[in-house]
Amino acid sequence: MRALGVALFSLLGIAGLPAAVSPASAAPSKFASSNDPSFHLVPMLDVPLLALDAAVLLGLKAVVPQRHEDGRLSDLFALDAPVARNGRDDDALRTSDFGGLMAGAFALVDAIVTARHNDLDAGVITLGLYAESAMTTAAVTEVVKLLVQRPRPCTYQIDRRERPPLHCGQDDDDAYLSFFSGHTAVTAALSTTATYLAFERDADGSRAAWTVSGGLALTSFVAVERMRAGKHFPTDVITGAVVGAGIGFLVPHLHKGGAQSATGLSSDGRMLTLASGF
């Protein structure tokens, strides 16, 4: 019960920190670019949120014990069972990592290009949005993994699970953190944030179209490779893609320029909203 409480507290903290740290009487100061007012950051909210994300990622495993309980193949969903039997490609471990790195590299390049085309402030804001999308997604994923503690597909493969690259042995904590897929979730979050930024900044729509296509392809590639490697079930990657896309949309949406308040509170400080006037 203590482990459940710690994990739930972390999840609620990630979701509720912006409203908790902001005074209801006045909107916090914003960091915005004079050349590109499309988006802004709110340092007094965004910095604590990133710090909480980092704390969850670095320290939550130390306080939440893991059960290390293997599952039974007969208990799996019909959609998931084939991956437990056939997801055996060791090379897919490396290719799925590469796909995630590509998403991160695109985010960095996009921030640099934005800085060159507009100004340094715009580049910093862009990089901050990507960082918040990725880290918040990763932190939420970590909390859910530790709450669910689902055995990975490779734990059902007795002849394979002890191979060192898999980290899937019975004594390995990572072997029981299948739900949901962090690789897929973070890739989806970065892709969705990139798409949101592209639609806001692209006048003719060509960049947005390429970003949507590339993001969908990259997220799908990472998801398929994680299943081929025996690291995740279909339900893991589908959930990861949905959660990542949701956070990847909300982060830039809640940082759009021209907002009245960056706290999500109404003028009297009582109501939490997710309206575009955030």
169 burial (CB, 10 Å; 0-12 / 13-18 / 19+) is middle
Peptide bond into 180 cis (omega under 30): yes
- Domain range for 85 is 2-253
- 163-213 tens-digit pLDDT: 888 889 999 999 999 999 999 999 999 999 999 999 998 877 788 899 999
In a domain, 261, yes or no: no
Closest by alpha carbon to 186, among 234, 218, 150?
218
- 63-115 tens-digit pLDDT: 888 889 999 999 999 999 999 999 999 999 999 999 999 999 999 999 999 99
In a domain, 275, yes or no: no
In a domain, 271, yes or no: no
Q: How many domains, in total, are found in the chain?
A: 1
In a domain, 264, yes or no: no
> At 28, which CATH number?
1.20.144
Round to whole Å and give the CA distance between 233 and 223. 9
Name the one residue in this structure whose structure tokens are 């482990």.
Answer: 3
In a domain, 116, yes or no: yes
In a domain, 60, yes or no: yes
Round to whole Å and give the CA distance between 34 and 165. 48
- 145-156 tens-digit pLDDT: 999 999 999 999
Half-sphere exposure at residue 96, Cβ-oriented, CA atoms within 13 angstroms: 25
* Percentage above 70 pLDDT, the chain: 82
Grade residue 28 by pLDDT with cuts at 50, 70 and 90.
Answer: low
Closest by alpha carbon to 104, among 137, 142, 81, 76?
137
- 219-228 tens-digit pLDDT: 999 999 999 9
DSSP state of 197: H
In a domain, 270, yes or no: no
